[in-house]
Structure 1
Amino acid sequence: MQNPYPIAALNLNHWFGTCEAKKQALFDINVEVERGSLTVLVGPSGSGKTTLLTLLGCLREVQDGSVQLLGHELNGANGSLLTSLRRRLGFVFQAHNLHNSLTARQNVVVGLQVHGTLPPEQSDEAASHVLGLLGLGDRLDYLPANLSGGQKQRVAVARALVGNPDVIFADEPTAALDRESGGNVVALIKRLGRERGTTTVMVTHDNRILDQADRIVTLEEGRIVDKSS
């Protein structure tokens, strides 16, 4: 029977290293994520938050246990399935990973090309729209070198959102942003959840945005110690 949740982990364990250097990073993780919700992973540095995020987002191989993403089992999944699933996802990481030779708008258009959701003639319009929603309407043709760190982060957020992904995985997306910009990013993500059923899993140390979370999952030393709604 297919899992009703867009994301679910069951008895998930993970290790780094081999032989004597092998160290367990996650222990018996069990969690489900509701469709359209904003789930926030919190905990001290080294608690396993980013490791869990990358496993749920099929960016890291599942070693032991089960991860189901959008109705597909990731443990043992082949490369073609993983590639097709990634096209349905949006990713935001602390490193902006922008193309330095492309403008803000062109960087966002790259996100549309990955998803393949719009014909080329509509891509510029869609990229401009989402950048405008994030307060960058006057920076569309700026190269990354001419943007501040916070502006570059908002371009990276726009690139993740523009293809209307089924799921967004975000690692510290507001770390480089001031209170207003960070609040606008999270508000936009929440709106996508309400209007389009977009599911978001976010790692953060930013206590300013916790009150917007539908669910807070707390990790300590690789274990879930609290799951509160």
Structure 2
Amino acid sequence: MGDHPISVRNLNHWFGRGEARKQAIFDLSLDIAPGSLTVMVGPSGSGKTTVLTLMGCLRQVEDGSVRLLGQELQGADEPMLEALRRQLGFIFQAHNLHESLTARQNVMMGLQVHGRGDERLRNEAIEHMLELVGLGHRLDYLPGNLSGGQKQRVAIARALISGPKIVFADEPTAALDKDSGHQVVAMLKALGRERGTTTVMVTHDSRILDMADRIITLEHGRLVRDEGAVATLTD
């Protein structure tokens, strides 16, 4: 499997029990190249978010193999999973901000799991990250005073502030206009070039597909198309 930050082999997944048990993912195998931006597309219900949560230690791997940053997830204990999660950044369509905290304080939450560090440097990093997502003028606003797109940008800043090795993003541009969406994806690509950050993104946003290094299409839980893999993978 080489040095890929994510390697998946013969992954299957089911939901439900007994007669209601339904297979959601069928025999999925793929490698994600370091520093790349991989986008998963497909109709609603095709399994995209399920694959994302399996890769991101948010759902238990029951059948097949997922290796994340060199660690096998099937059978991994909670301390190992927690240690892996601390190296990941998550961006969800539901931004999950703390409504009682300002933009600055919400982004601070993304740093707190990584230790305290120098407070002045932390504040500078937070302000810089919020400026990068276009919210330098909204540092001390509560979520209730931000638009949907602005809330999503705070969530993106929170996910990126700790310098994660991998970013998992589920519809990160859904609440953004075209220019803002492109800005966010350009930032993720820049992290790949400059820091080697690997991004896996689920999206229905066709406006950003031209920025992806690789586009994986799922239908009914199966990989049906894989565009760009040759350019980004080195076995």
TM-score w.r.t. the length of structure 1 is 0.98
Per-residue deviation, residues 11-50 of structure 1 (Å, max 9, x unmatched): 0000000011100000000011000000000000000000
Q: Which residue of 2 aligns with 1:108?
A: 107
| Distance of 1:219 and 1:77 partners within structure 2 | 26
- Bigger drift between 112-121 and 192-201 goes to 112-121
| Distance of 1:196 and 1:216 partners within structure 2 | 22
After superposing on structure 2, the runs of 4+ consecutive aligned residues of structure 1 that deviate more than 4 Å are: none
Percent identical among aligned pairs is 67
The answer on 1:8 being equivalent to 2:7 is yes
Q: Which residue of 2 aligns with 1:24?
A: 23
Alignment of 1:71-82 (within 5 A): 71-82=70-81
SS of the counterpart of 1:115? coil
- Bigger drift between 111-120 and 3-12 goes to 111-120
Per-residue deviation, residues 64-99 of structure 1 (Å, max 9, x unmatched): 000000000000000000000000000000111001
SS of the counterpart of 1:26? strand
Contact between 1:3 and 1:68, CA under 8 Å: does it hold in 2?
no
Q: Which residue of 2 aligns with 1:173?
A: 172
SS of the counterpart of 1:24? strand
Deviation at 1:118, TM superposition (A): 3.9
SS of the counterpart of 1:195? helix
Per-residue deviation, residues 132-188 of structure 1 (Å, max 9, x unmatched): 001000000000000000000000000000111000000000000001110100000
SS of the counterpart of 1:84? helix
Contact between 1:3 and 1:71, CA under 8 Å: does it hold in 2?
no
| Distance of 1:22 and 1:201 partners within structure 2 | 28
Q: Which residue of 1 aligns with 2:66?
A: 67
User: What letter corresponds to residue 227 of structure 2 in structure 1?
Assistant: S
Q: Which residue of 1 aligns with 2:156?
A: 157
Give the CA RMSD over aligned residues: 1.0
SS of the counterpart of 2:139? coil
Deviation at 1:122, TM superposition (A): 2.0
| Distance of 1:206 and 1:157 partners within structure 2 | 17
Cα gap change, 1:50/1:102 in structure 2, threshold over 3 Å: closer, same or farther? same
User: What letter corresponds to residue 142 of structure 1 in structure 2?
Assistant: Y
Q: Which residue of 1 aligns with 2:214?
A: 215
Contact between 1:167 and 1:200, CA under 8 Å: does it hold in 2?
yes
- Which stretches in structure 2 are left out of the alignment for 5+ residues? 229-235
- Bigger drift between 123-132 and 46-55 goes to 123-132
Deviation at 1:121, TM superposition (A): 3.2
User: What letter corresponds to residue 223 of structure 1 in structure 2?
Assistant: R
Q: Which residue of 2 aligns with 1:195?
A: 194
| Distance of 1:173 and 1:118 partners within structure 2 | 29
| Distance of 1:109 and 1:192 partners within structure 2 | 19
Deviation at 1:104, TM superposition (A): 0.1
- Which stretches in structure 1 are left out of the alignment for 5+ residues? none
| Distance of 2:135 and 2:105 partners within structure 1 | 13
TM-score w.r.t. the length of structure 2 is 0.95
User: What letter corresponds to residue 7 of structure 1 in structure 2?
Assistant: I
User: What letter corresponds to residue 169 of structure 2 in structure 1?
Assistant: A
| Distance of 2:96 and 2:102 partners within structure 1 | 13
